[in-house]
Amino acid sequence: MAVQYATIPRYSKIRRKLIKKTMYRNPFYRIRWCEGYPLTKPRVVSMNEMIDSDEWDFPDRFLSNLEGLCVSEMLKFEDFSGVLIFERIDLDL
C-alpha cells in the first residue's frame, strides 16, 4: 500500500508576505461584477478568503496592490471574463 502525503500549498514570496501582513488585520472588500459578467449582487470578501480559497485565483501582484488600498479606494481587475471592481471597506466586527 502506497503512502499518501497531504499536499501543502506552496505560496510565492509575495503571497507569503501578504499572509503575514493580514494575519492580525484582515481587510475586507466589496466586489462588484461589471462588464462581461451577468447581473450579480455585490459581495463582501476578506483578503484571507481570497488568498486561501480556490474560488479566487488572482495574481500575487494584484493581491498586493489590493492590500495597499485605503478604505473607500477602488481597484479594477480585468481579464478575459470581464471587469471586477474592488472597493476596500471598513467593517466594524
Q: Work out the percent of the chain whose per-residue pLDDT is above 90.
A: 41
* Averaged pLDDT of the chain: 82
Through-space distance between the first and last CA atoms of the chain, rounded to whole angstroms = 49
What per-residue confidence (pLDDT) applies to 15?
Answer: 65
Half-sphere CA count of 27, side-chain side, radius 13 A: 25
CA torsion 45→73→33→60, rounded to 10°?
-60
Q: Is the Cα torsion angle 34, 37, 43, 49 positive or negative in sign?
A: negative
Strand partners, 44: 30
Q: Work out the percent of the chain whose per-residue pLDDT is above 70.
A: 73
As a whole number, mean pLDDT of residues 13-38 equals: 79
Question: CA 24 to CA 45: how far, in whole Å?
Answer: 16
Domain boundaries, the chain: 13-89
| Cα Rg, the chain, nearest whole Å | 15
What per-residue confidence (pLDDT) applies to 67?
Answer: 87
pTM of the model: 0.74
